[in-house]
Amino acid sequence: MKLFLPNARATNWFLIVGFCSIGYALYMRYLAVEQSTVGLACQAGLNTWLCVTRQVTIALFTYSVFGWCALIIAALNLLRPSLLLFGAALAAACCGVVLYNTGLSSLAAGLLVVSLARRAPEPD
């Protein structure tokens, strides 16, 4: 029985995807969302990419989009394991854990770990 285990190259890409997702989520949380000076400037009408990205990020984590997206993609990956689904679920889960969607994103991370114990799909 061959398990769904990424090879070394895919694992390195997953490390890059995970660290970049966590890094950008930390940047958005601590330097854009929680900074009072940035919030006041954006509410005063400053029209920069940071204000637009801040508004989009706040709208996404308000409705738990990161968590639900990570959970749905991780469930799909559990049913039919693939490297693309694994990477997308990993990125969404990393962003969700940092950006206030901890419950759903941690459940998605657990599903990702369980998906590594699944049998690899048979080639057609």
List average pLDDT for each run of 10 residues in the chain, which is 124 residues long.
Answer: 88 97 97 95 94 96 96 95 95 96 96 90 72
CA distance 69 to 18: 16
pLDDT at 52: 96
- Joined tokens for residue 94: 């990393």
pLDDT at 124: 67
Alpha-carbon radius of gyration of the chain: 17
Which DSSP symbol is given to 102? H
96 vs 117: CA distance, rounded Å: 23
Phi, psi (deg, nearest 5) at residue 94: -65, -45
> Cα separation of 38 and 30, whole Å?
11
